[in-house]
Amino acid sequence: MHIQENHPLKKHNTFGIDGKARYFIEITSAQAFVELLHHPIFRENQHLIVGEGSNILFTRDFDGLIIQMAIGGIETVSEDEKCCWVRAGAGVQWHHLVISCIKAGFGGLENLSLIPGTVGAAPIQNIGAYGIEVKEYIEEVGACALATGKQRIFQNDECQFAYRDSVFKNSLKGQYGITHVVFRLTKKHTLHTSYQVLAKRLAEMQDSEPTIASVSDAVIHIRQSKLPDPAEIGNAGSFFKNPVVSKAFYKDLQKSFPGIPWYPVDENSLKIPAGWLIEQCGWKGKRFGDTGVHHKQALVLVNFGNATGREILELSEMIAGSVQQKFKVLLEPEVNIV
C-alpha cells in the first residue's frame, strides 16, 4: 500500500487549483479499499474520496488523506431480450462507459455523453442532462462502510435519488465509499429527444430516425460548443444547480420577468436555468484577474491560469448574492467546496 506524502493536487482537480494533500493514495480494487480503511493513516486523519476531481473546488491545502478511487472494469453481468445489466468500477471515466455501452448496442446513457467525472460520482450527484437523470438506469450501487469496511449493495430505491441529490449526499454523507455501479440498460431503445436544444441539433443533423449513437453525437456537439475543455481552461462544468421553485413562486416571478425560462420537475414545481439568471445579472464573460465567468456559458466559472480556489469561491458568492437580490432565488453550488 503506497501512501504518498505532500502530494500536489493540481492534476487532481479540473479547476487546476494548486495545493497539496498531506497524504494521497490511489485505490484500484475494492479489496485495497477495505485494507486502507483499517490503516492508521486513514483512521487518524480526515479523508476525502475523489475521482477525476471534476466536481470539486479546493480552497486550501488538504491536511489529511485524499483517496483517488481508480477501480476499473466494465462487464455485462446479465441480460435478457429487452435489457442488459452492466457493472462498472467506480474509477471508470464516465464518458468512456457511455461510449462503450453505445458501441455494444446498449441504450439509456446516451443523453449523458461527455459529462466529466467517474462512475463512482454519478450516483452521488445523480448526474443528469438533456432530460435524463442517471437514477433512471441505476440498478444498484456497491459501497464499503468507512467505519467498518463492510461491503453493502444499495438498491435503486435505497439511494433516495432526487434532483442532483442522493442518500450519499444526505443521511449517509461521509459514511460510504462507492466501489462499483450496476446499470440496467436497454436493447430496444426509447430515445429521449424532446429537450429543445437536443431536438434542434438532431434536426440540423437531418437525422429523421435518430439512434443512440446519433443522440450521443448531438449531445457531444452541444456540450463542446458551449462548455470549455478543462484541459484548456480550468473549470468544473456547471458551478450551480438549476434552482427548483414552486409553480406559484414562478408565476409571481414571471410578472416581473415575462421571458424567464423554465423546465418541468413535477406537478407542483419546476426548474429555472441558473445560467439564464446569472446572465441576466450581467456576469457572463466577466473576468477578474485569473478567474471569471465563461463567455459562452454563464453557469461555468473558470480559472484562466493562476486563480486560487478562494478567489473562485468569492466570485461564486458574489454571483449568488446578485441573483438572490434581483430574483429572490437562492443558487446552490453543484460543485463540492473543500
| CA–CA dist 293, 301 (Å, integer) | 5
| CA–CA dist 69, 141 (Å, integer) | 15
Q: Nearest Cα to 222, choosing from 262, 195, 259?
A: 195
Q: Is 19 left (phi over 0), alpha (psi -120 to 50) or beta?
A: left
334 noted as active-site residue: yes
Active-site entry in 52, 139, 140, 334: 334
Q: How far is CA 231 from the centre of its chain?
A: 17
How many CA atoms does the CB half-sphere of 103 hold within 13 Å? 7
62, 22 in Cβ contact below 8 A? yes
C-alpha cell, 55? 466536481
Strand, coil or helix: 258: coil
Active-site entry in 54, 113, 216, 238: 238
C-alpha cell, 193? 429527444
* E strand or H helix at 183: strand 176-186
| Beta strand pairing call for 287-288 and 4-8 | unpaired
- Find the DSSP H helices in the chain: 30-37, 40-44, 94-103, 121-125, 196-204, 212-226, 247-256, 274-280, 309-327
| Beta strand pairing call for 300-303 and 291-293 | antiparallel
The phi and psi torsions of 288 (rounded to 5 degrees) equal -130, 100
| CA–CA dist 329, 232 (Å, integer) | 32
164 noted as active-site residue: yes
List, by residue number, the catalytic residues. Answer: 164, 238, 334
